[in-house]
Each structure stands twice: as structure tokens, then as C-alpha cells.
A and B are shown apart, each in its own frame.
Chain A
Amino acid sequence: MLAGHKLNTILDIVKTSSKEELAWINGYLSGILAGEKGPEILEKPALQKKKITIAFGTETGNSKSVATTFAAKAKSRGIIPKLVSLDQYRLSDLPKEENFLAIISTHGDGEPPEAAKKFYDHIHLNGFTIPKMNYGVLALGDTAYPLFCKAGEDVDQQFQKLGAKRIVPLQKCDVDYEEPAQIWFDQFLQSFDDLTPVHVQEPGIIKKSAGKKTYDGVLLAKTVLNGRGSSKQTFHLEIAAEELDYQPGDAIGIIPENNESIVDEILSQVQANAQQTLVFKNETSTIYELLRSRLNISCLPERIIKQYAAIIDQPVNEIRIALLDLLKTYPMPQPQKFIELVQILEPIAPRLYSISSSPSAHEGEVHITVANDKFFYKEEQRSGLCSEFLSRLPVDTDLKFYVQKNNSFRLPAEDKDVIMIGPGTGIAPFRSLVAEREATGSTGRNWLFFGDHHFTTDFLYQTEWQNWFSTGVLTNISLAFSRDQQEKNYVQHKIIERAAEFFEWIENGAFLYVCGAKQPMSVDVEQTILKVIAEQGKFTVADAEQYLNNLKEEGRYCKDVY
């Protein structure tokens, strides 16, 4: 349809553009097609135009992707957006801001994402005001967690305290955030145009819709991937479900059930009637059902402990404690108060596991790789709730789950090279990636960095990697087993060993993926990558950091760390 030179120009632009740039171009073109201001935008200087800072704090990439579409949309409206990640944001700019949008997700126990931590702490400091600012906050979260959208709420309130003017009410979004986010942004744009504050309403919650589909899965198979004698226990679970829809890089969320014997012990400890019914979240359930499959009893947060202290009218000196331990250490003087306690408990939060299967290679199945977390409480060994739940789950049992999209962890074009760094269970998405690339006949090269304790017992999916290596799907594999020799040996040491080749791959356009423990692994790996870039590319430290930032912006450095 296009003349050759036009087509070439477009293809050239597309080829050299980052995801964000493509999104902007997309918005720009749609703007033109929609009959809005067209090419003039580029012609006229932006001086008369309003500016807006769109700042995002992202963990999984969702906030970033929302912010990116907002920026594109703003641009198409003739507004000049400044798109910035909160970890890159210069805090001293805050009092100068006139129009500010914060898009921030909430993680774990009401915490802001790692990337927004500095910003979050900063706005909670006293000693400055931001009276010039008009703002709006879009909070992303998951209603399955008790402190839904807490970080966004805090930012919204704190901005107000600092003297900023809220021009659009806080919007809390559940896991299917796209549509409410767009509606909210349109609302924002309208207020922005008027710059008259809309009347303040209570923050609205868009309830989760069918978008977050719950699958009725069946556990097909379960094996321990560690060999005899290993101190580790890593489960490989294969779950079948109908009409599965996921991509490599996604995770599934599972709501674990509490251990039956612990529930029984709690009930006998407080001498409660297990069959007594209560209304919880508009559903009538027995106390037993609530304790078994609805309420978090494994690790109570401080706020619940405080409420418990109030119920029993006695100080409780604990920060995080399991309900049973709490009841044993600080018994209830009056058993009938147990109902009060049940009512303050929070729902069990879902646990997310990176998917280790590929939709193309393992049709109709989703696989996960679960480390049985072991920790000590008062010298007694305990297991993490969900890993323990899954480890006890018999084959052929039903298992509900949902798919948690992770758009910031996607495979590149089929001819691109991929470097995967995933020690421990961080290997999960890479099994998915490589299986997918094999099944779809990708031509790009693949290089895996994996590490664990011992070669003989902890080489997760060893035979599969061997097969992929022998068929050439896996080009390189670098292994670091930390406890097979005197000195500890980790994946970052293997990167250093092959620094030249590693850098050559990056220079050649390889996509870098890191999955696994945030601390210390992902930090050490990042430091190592920076070092390799600096040394191999003969860059200064600052230039190496810029280089890596560019990779991030181009979507070529993706992390899924926890």
C-alpha cells in the first residue's frame, strides 16, 4: 500500500524504536486518525502546552505499561508528558511540580514496589510542601491481599498533607486494571483541562471482574526435583486446566489452605466449636472452614497482633507470629472471645509462582517450580504456608489458580538472542522461555546461567537442559554450584568467567533476563553486569549505568525478582 521509500522509512523507525516509542507512535497515529491535532504537534514548539509528569512505581511492569499508555494519550492531546520511573525521579523537583500523576502498585504487606521506596519515604518526611502541585494517584493492587492498594492510598493522602491539590480522586484498581485505568485517566484529562477540582468523593474500588479468570485445575503430577541427600526440596507441579491462557513470563496465583492439624490444634487450644457459623465477606461459613481455607493464620502482621492485644487486654510483644503460637504464648482468658479474634483475621493472600511450562510445548498444562521454604521459629523448623500446602497436595486433587500477567518479562522477536540468569527456582520462567522457543522454532540463541547448592542433587531440570543443549536449542549453559568447592561460586562468577562473550551477546542485541531472589542475587548480578559492561566496553561507571539503563528502556533488561 505504501510506496517503497515510505514503507522503508516506517520500517526503519519501527525497527529502531523502543516499546515506549512504539506506544507513543501508536497513540500519535491514532490521534491523527481520530481527527485530532495532527502533524502540527511536531511542528509547533511545545511552549504554550501544559506539562505533566507521569511517574510510576512498578514491580511487575504493570504500572509502567499504564504510565506509558497515559503518556502516549497525553501527547496525542497536546500535553507534554514527562514519563519517569520513581526510582529515577529527582526528589528535589517535587516542589516545582505543577501537574503530577503517580501510578503506583502495592506489594506484599502493603508495601510500595522497591523502585518507589525512596520516593515513598521521602514524601513521608516533614519539612517541605508542594503547594503548586495538582495531582492524581492511580493505585494498582490485588484485592486478594488484605492491604489492597495501600501504597497508593498513602501517596494520595500524603500529597494532600503536603499541600498539593487532588484534581481527581484516588483510583484503586484490581488485577484487571486496564479499563478502569483508562476511564480514570480520561476523567483526569477532563479535570486537567478545566483545572477546577472535581468534587471529592470516596475513593472508588473497581471490583475484580471476569478478567481475572479463576481456573479449576487438577494437579496432574508432582515430583521433587532434588536428588536424594539434598538439603533442598524443590517441587515440580504439573496442573491441567481447560482454556488456559498465558504466556511465558507469566505467573499463577494460588490461595493455599491451612494445615488441618494446625487448625485442629487451634480449635482445641481455644476450645471453640468448629461448626459454629459466621458471616465472612458476605458468605456464611463454619469456623472450621474459615480457619482451614479462608483466613490467614500462619503469619499474623503487627496490626492484627495489636488488635489481639486489645481483645485479651494484655500487652503482646511480637511482630510477626503464627496464630497458634500467639494463642499458646498469650492464651485467651475467655474462650468466647475467639469469635472476636476470628473477625479481625485477614484473608489468606495468594502466592505467586512463575510459570515453568510453555503454552506451545505443554498444551493444556501449567507447570510451576516451588521451593519448599523452610525457616526456623524458636528453633523449630517450619515451612512456608503455600509451599507446604502444595507439598502435601495429592496428585489428582483440584487446585484453583489464576494467571498473573507479567508484560515486562516477555520473549523478544524469534531471531533475537536471549541471556537468562536464574539460579534456584529463578530457573522456572526460563524453562518456559526455552520450551516455547523450541516449540516455535525460534532462531535466536539462548544462554542459561543457573546455580544452586550441589551439582549432583540440585541441578533443576538437568535432563531437559541436557536435551536442549544437545539439540542446540540451548547455545550456552553456565553453571555455578555454590557448595561443591571451598569457595562459594555463584552465577555472577560465571558471568565474569565469560565476560567477553557475554558483552558480545549484549552488543549483538541480546535480551537479558534475571529471575530469582531479589537479595542478594539480583543485586550482585546487576553489579556484575555493570562491571562487565564497563570493562568490556571500556566505559566509565556512569556510562555503564547509562548503557544498562538504555537496555532497560529498550526492554532488553528484564527482571522478575522476589
Chain B
Amino acid sequence: MSDSSNLSPIEKIKTSSHGLRGTLKESLQDEITGAVREDDHALVKFHGMYEQDDRDLRSERAEAKLDKLYSFMVRLRIPGGAITPQQWIAANHIAGDYSTGVIKITTRQTIQLHGILKRNIKPTLQDFNKVNLDSIAACGDVNRNVACSSHPNTSPLHEMVHAYADKISRMLLPKTRAYQEVWLDEEKIAEPESEIDPLYEDRYLPRKFKIGIAIPPDNDVDVLTNDLGLIAIIENEKLIGFNIAVGGGLSTTHGNPNTYARLASVIGFVAGEENVLKAVYEILTVQRDFGNRSDRKLARLKYTFDRMGEDAFKKELESRCGFQLEAPRHFEFTDRKDKYGWQQDHKKRWHYTLFIENGRVLDSEELALKTALFRIAETGKASFRFTSNQNLILSDIDPKDKAVIENLLEEFNLNEHTKNASAIRKNAIACVAFPTCPLALAEAQRYLPALISKIEPLLAKYQLNEQDIVLRMTGCPNGCARSYAAEIGLVGTAYGHYNLHIGGDRQGLRLGDKYRENLDEESILIELDNLFGQYKACRNENETFGDFAKRVILV
């Protein structure tokens, strides 16, 4: 429990926010600035958005006596990352009307729009609401978007497991109607009892909370990087329950030795939907009550869990649940990568996984990706599933409709685009970073494609181009693109400089280690050239680059 006299300032903002309302309505009325008021800055996160500014323009705008170019990033709540074609069409229009136009598929299976001016937030959220999409709790100290293994052909039980994402998301939504009142102009409800929130109370969680659900053998969601990971246990073609993994989380702070990246620990197994949901709920209450509320850098569940110790944590959880956790069941992960191209599931429906570099959907000179996806959505014959690798599955296509989609993929060159991308490029992910992320120390999504173009020849030099090496880049140590859980992780330290982490495994069961610090591009390429050379020369049969690095380089 944290010392109440030493609460972080955010804690006070939360408890005095009248159910996350703060002064948001007043902030929207302030004509003189594109920003919201200071305390509301923290509160908008709970409504699914970050206030950002275009960092590229800061100095030139200051010289022009103009304020920073403030805008908002709106992230949707899409449990399991699946939407209808009609919802995609709406997102396409909303992106064009109110944002930069780019739809960004995130590393947690949702989409976000950038560059939304303050006056356009309400129209954006109202238009999304018309197609039953919202951004409630997509950010903030609450349970965020629930991720789930994305590909329907993973298991005949995919649909059943996938449904948990939505159930959990709804169970863990805050009870306040602030979102509806502030953004959707809903009348204030007279009975405040309806807003009493036994889960979040008035203080919410000490920090963000992420939940992922994996269906082995796929670990595309990187389940152990979540605060709470659920691993579906399927025996004899039946879903018997979930292994519970707690304490994952990658964010660290440069120069703060008390912070660390951590994969979740599997602490037990729970059978039956009711008990699974109960366990999930109570893990949040334990974190709510035991998490650190004075130092936000040490507030994630991983620190709570390590401070309490596994036994004490389990004991507290079991007493709250009213049942014991069973021993964890055996599971095996083989891969985290997406299954590109056409796949068929047990119901004979077709799914096409499309490579989208860094999840950025836009029309460029080379590829009319956004137009193509719009045209595909217009057919109404494919649903849209986002993967944790920032790609898109055109999904649930009836065999008789496959040709229609196939023709569009050909017409817009998407099939060729996906086929021709190199293995390293297809398995890479990057966070947003500059120019909008306030935390960015170095570039990520704007830079990684160009860096990969320089890494590809190195791999070719050693005939390693077919290797599915997992390369990830983040612009800061917070780990949105999960660099610490990569075979090659690049973590921004300063503009143009990165720490190089290696030795993570391919399946997502082992983090990498920091191997070199503060490398510029030239040094990165020299190091990688050297590493690839050693890997080519000394690897065991079928040994991945990550395993080789762990076994040989890091010893």
C-alpha cells in the first residue's frame, strides 16, 4: 500500500476529477489555445487520447509567435482488434475529415488517428460512435485495449477465445458516463449511484494495465509482455481454461536502475469462464490496492508483484477470488509472426494477411494502400482484423467472395507488396515516436524503413535473408514496440542514437539484453554486420539469431 501523504500529482487529479470530467468542457471552450487545461491533460488519456504537439514545428512556430501545434491522438478500444468493413469505412472518412489522414495500426491491435485538433475531437468521437466504436479507456490508468491472438485459423476455438477479449474489456470499463457527457453531448444522468465504480473507485489504477490473450502455439500478441496474460488451454478440442500470467511490462527509464523490463510469470491455471473473469477482475483489485501510487515509474503490476513476491500475491488473489489457482498447464509457443497471404480456417472461410509497414495505412506514390483497403471494405465481403505486429488480416471471407478480394489485391498491387517485402521487414515493428510522441528521444517509424533497407544487404551478404529475425525499434525506453522482447531491439537514447539489445527469443519467452549503448547508424550497421557474420559461421542447425546471440555473444 502506498503512503497517502506522498501521492503522485496524478492521483489527486484522478480523485478530484468528478468521474474523469475535470474541466474538460471548459477546456474545449478555451479558444486561445489548442491545448486542454493542465489537469485535463492527464484526464483525456482515460478517454482514449493523448495531447501531443508537432515537435518538428516547435522552434519555427515559437519564432512566428505561434503556440505549439497541439493536436490529439485518438486511440480506439477494439477488443481483439476486429472490426466490420462498415467500421473501417467510417474510420477512413473520419481520418480524412479530422486527422492527418493516416490510420495507424498499433502494436496492441487497435487503430489510432493523429493530428486531431481540439475542436475536432467531438466530431471525431461522435462519428465513431455512430458506428459503435469508442475510445473509452484506450489510454490512462485503467485496463487498456484487450489484445487476443488474431488469426482465426489458429484454432477452431478461436472465436470462443476471442470473445473473452470483449467480455473482459466490457467488465473492466470505468462506470463513469463522462465520455458520453463530454464528447457525445449526452445529458447528465440524475442518479450518481449508477456511476459508483467498485473496481476503479475514484482513484482508478496506479498505472496503465494491459491484458493479452494468446492461443498457443501462436504468440502473436506477445502475451507475456502484458500486465496480465491469459494463455488459452485447449485439450481435446475443448477450451478448458486459461493459464494466468502476471507482471509483464517493458517500460523502463534511462538512468533509473529501479526500473526494468519484465515478462509475465505464469502463476497458475483457472478453469471456467466465471472463474477466469473473476480472477482477471481481482488481479486488477490487488494492483489497485497494492500498487505504488507515489512513484509512477514504479507503479506497474510487475513492481507490485515483485515487491509482494509470487506467494503473497497469489495468496491475496486467491482470498479475493474465493478459489485456488490450479497448477499451470503445459503450453507451447512456436512463433510470434503473422501468417502472410491466404489462409483458410476450419469453417473454410478465407483470410488474407497483408503486410503494412509499421501499421501506417496511407496512400503513397508507390502504393495506394488506403484507397485499396477502402475499396475492399466497400465490397462488404471482408472484415478487418488488426494484429499485434501492426498488420491487417482481411478476414472471414466466404469462399465464393475470395476472387473479388483477390482481384482488388492484384489491382492495387497489395499481394505483390506483401510477397516482395523481406522477412526482416515483415517481422519488424516500430512505435510512433517523432514528431508527435512527447516521450520520443529518437526516431522510430519514420526511420526504421530506411534503416532496414541498409540491414537487408548485410543479411544478403551472409545469405540470411530468409531468416524471420524479429527486429523492433522504439524511440524511447518505454517499449511500445516491445524492443526488449526482440531478437534485435533498438531503443532510442538520443536523436540518432540507440541502445542495441540482442538475445531475445523468437517465441516471446525470453527478453534480450543490452549489448551496446548509444550507437549511431554507422555503428549499428557495423555491429550487425559483425553479429550476422558470427551467426552465419557459428550457429547450430535451426538455431535462431536470438538463441545464437544468447548462447554465444552474450556469455
Closest to A474 in B: B32
A395 CB to nearest B CB, Å: 13
Q: When the two chains form their complex, are residues A225 and B66 in contact, meaning their CB atoms are under 8 A apart?
A: yes
Asked if A50 is an interface residue, CB under 8 A from chain B, the answer is no
Q: When the two chains form their complex, are residues A227 and B32 in contact, meaning their CB atoms are under 8 A apart?
A: no
26 contacts between A and B (CB under 8 A): A223-B64, A224-B64, A225-B64, A225-B65, A226-B64, A227-B57, A227-B60, A227-B61, A227-B69, A228-B60, A236-B65, A455-B31, A455-B34, A455-B117, A455-B119, A456-B34, A456-B117, A459-B67, A460-B65, A461-B65, A462-B32, A462-B65, A466-B67, A477-B31, A478-B31, A485-B119
Interface string of A225-258 (1 = CB under 8 A from B): 1111000000010000000000000000000000
Asked if B62 is an interface residue, CB under 8 A from chain A, the answer is yes
Given A223-B63, A225-B64, 8 other A-B residues pairs in contact with their CB atoms under 8 A: A223-B65, A225-B66, A459-B66, A462-B67, A463-B65, A466-B67, A469-B32, A477-B31
With contacts A456-B69, A484-B119 taken as known, whether A466 is within 8 angstroms of B64 at the C-beta atoms is no
Asked if A479 is an interface residue, CB under 8 A from chain B, the answer is yes
Q: When the two chains form their complex, are residues A477 and B60 in contact, meaning their CB atoms are under 8 A apart?
A: no
Distance, CA A456 to CA B31, complexed state (A): 11
Task: Count how many pairs of residues, one from A and one from B, have CB atoms less than 8 Å apart in the complex.
Answer: 50
Interface string of B49-77 (1 = CB under 8 A from A): 00000000100111111110100000000
Q: When the two chains form their complex, are residues B62 and A463 in contact, meaning their CB atoms are under 8 A apart?
A: yes
- Contacts of B67 on A, CB cut-off 8 Å? 459, 462-463, 466
Distance, CA A148 to CA B177, complexed state (A): 71
Asked if B371 is an interface residue, CB under 8 A from chain A, the answer is no
Residues of chain A in range 108-147 having any CB-CB distance to chain B below 8 Å: none
- Contacts of B32 on A, CB cut-off 8 Å? 462, 465-466, 469, 477, 479
Distance, CA A457 to CA B65, complexed state (A): 10
Distance, CA A224 to CA B62, complexed state (A): 11
Asked if A464 is an interface residue, CB under 8 A from chain B, the answer is yes
Distance, CA A258 to CA B117, complexed state (A): 42
B114 CB to nearest A CB, Å: 14
Distance, CA A455 to CA B117, complexed state (A): 10
A501 CB to nearest B CB, Å: 15
Interface string of B443-472 (1 = CB under 8 A from A): 000000000000000000000000000000
A121 CB to nearest B CB, Å: 43
Interface string of A447-488 (1 = CB under 8 A from B): 000000001110111111110010000000111000011000
- Contacts of B117 on A, CB cut-off 8 Å? 455-456
B198 CB to nearest A CB, Å: 41
Residues of chain B in range 500-545 having any CB-CB distance to chain A below 8 Å: none
Distance, CA A236 to CA B78, complexed state (A): 48
Q: SS class of chain A's interface: helix, strand, loop or mixed?
A: mixed
- Contacts of A228 on B, CB cut-off 8 Å? 57, 60
Residues of chain A in range 199-238 having any CB-CB distance to chain B below 8 Å: 223-228, 236
B300 CB to nearest A CB, Å: 36
Residues of chain B in range 10-66 having any CB-CB distance to chain A below 8 Å: 31-34, 57, 60-66
With contacts A456-B117, A484-B119 taken as known, whether A227 is within 8 angstroms of B31 at the C-beta atoms is no
A527 CB to nearest B CB, Å: 23
Q: When the two chains form their complex, are residues A462 and B31 in contact, meaning their CB atoms are under 8 A apart?
A: no
Q: When the two chains form their complex, are residues B31 and A457 in contact, meaning their CB atoms are under 8 A apart?
A: no
B30 CB to nearest A CB, Å: 10
Closest to A485 in B: B119
- Contacts of B69 on A, CB cut-off 8 Å? 227, 456
- Contacts of B33 on A, CB cut-off 8 Å? 466
Distance, CA A236 to CA B67, complexed state (A): 16
B425 CB to nearest A CB, Å: 31
Distance, CA A460 to CA B66, complexed state (A): 7
Distance, CA A236 to CA B63, complexed state (A): 11
Closest to B119 in A: A484
Closest to A227 in B: B66
A489 CB to nearest B CB, Å: 11
Distance, CA A435 to CA B119, complexed state (A): 29
Distance, CA A226 to CA B66, complexed state (A): 8
- Contacts of B65 on A, CB cut-off 8 Å? 223, 225, 236, 460-464
With contacts A456-B69, A456-B117, A484-B119 taken as known, whether A227 is within 8 angstroms of B34 at the C-beta atoms is no
Distance, CA A555 to CA B36, complexed state (A): 40
